[in-house]
Amino acid sequence: MIAVDIEKKLKAYNGQQVLQVKKAFIPGSITRITGPSGAGKTTFLKMLAGLITPDSGIIKTRNSTWFDATQKINLPPQQRHIGFVFQDYALFPNMTVKQHLEYATTDANWTNRLVTIGGLDTFADHKPNHLSGGQQQRLAILLALAIKPKLLLMDEPFSALDLKMKSALIKDLQMLFTAIGATTLIVSHNPQELDSISTDALEIG
Ligand code: ADP
């Protein structure tokens, strides 16, 4: 379980707006996050990941406190053991598909399983600039899963995928989320794409 009760003043061009989120995420649940552009969806994920600091409140898991403004607790990202799929993929230009995954995990069976589920077997030795946008996006998803995170944060993870690829991949990913016991939060502009797998929803803004 991840319990969140946080506030952050957003620096918007058109004045100031306060992002407030109070929510408990059940272990193993898949939550779709929706809301208008600029509402703070990405900022919220980054606060969970420890990349942006909330102004006030708490973020707690069953066993540990990640953030507590009054007690001045703020665990760094690497201690939160989170998988994060960024909108800009954050891939390394000089590493092949296989090398990306081997950098994240030494479990060769797991690496092979991920490559296959991402449909990247024949591209294992390719570097990002020799992959299509959709393939790069799939690699970013696999990379986030490689560390078997307990919390997986995905920011528009399927935006570059065509419809057919998307529904097949989503089904496979659901099995992986369950296998590793990840609690998953997915920001999506097209929430219908998650109808078959999401178990909860959060609207921001
Ligand atoms: P969304 O993902 O819902 O489109 P964002 O989270 O990207 O929205 O951005 C929401 C607002 O938060 C923007 O106006 C942006 O300028 C502001 N913002 C982004 N990062 C920070 C930050 N570190 N501190 C305060 N405000 C921020």
pLDDT of res. 190: 85
Q: Is 30 exposed, middle or buried (0-12, 13-18, 19+ CB in 10 A)?
A: buried
pLDDT, tens only, 92-150: 999 999 999 999 999 999 999 999 999 999 999 999 999 999 999 999 999 999 999 99
In the predicted model, residues of the chain with pLDDT beneath 50 are none
Which residue, chain included where needed, has tokens 């991920």?
Answer: 114
Closest listed residue to residue 202, CA positions, set 187, 192, 190, 189: 187
Distance 111 CA to ligand 1 centre (A): 34
Neighbours of 61 (CB within 10 A): 18
d(CA 183, CA 191): 18
Of 185, 90, 191, residue with least CA distance to 142: 90
Centre of ligand 1 to C-alpha 23, Å, is 19
Taking the model in full, what pTM does it have? Answer: 0.94
State which ligand 1 atom lies nearest to the alpha carbon of 37: 4
CATH dotted code for 2-203? 3.40.50.300
Domain range summary for the chain, segments of one domain joined by + = 2-203
Separation of alpha carbons 54 and 160, rounded Å = 30
For the chain, what is the mean pLDDT?
94
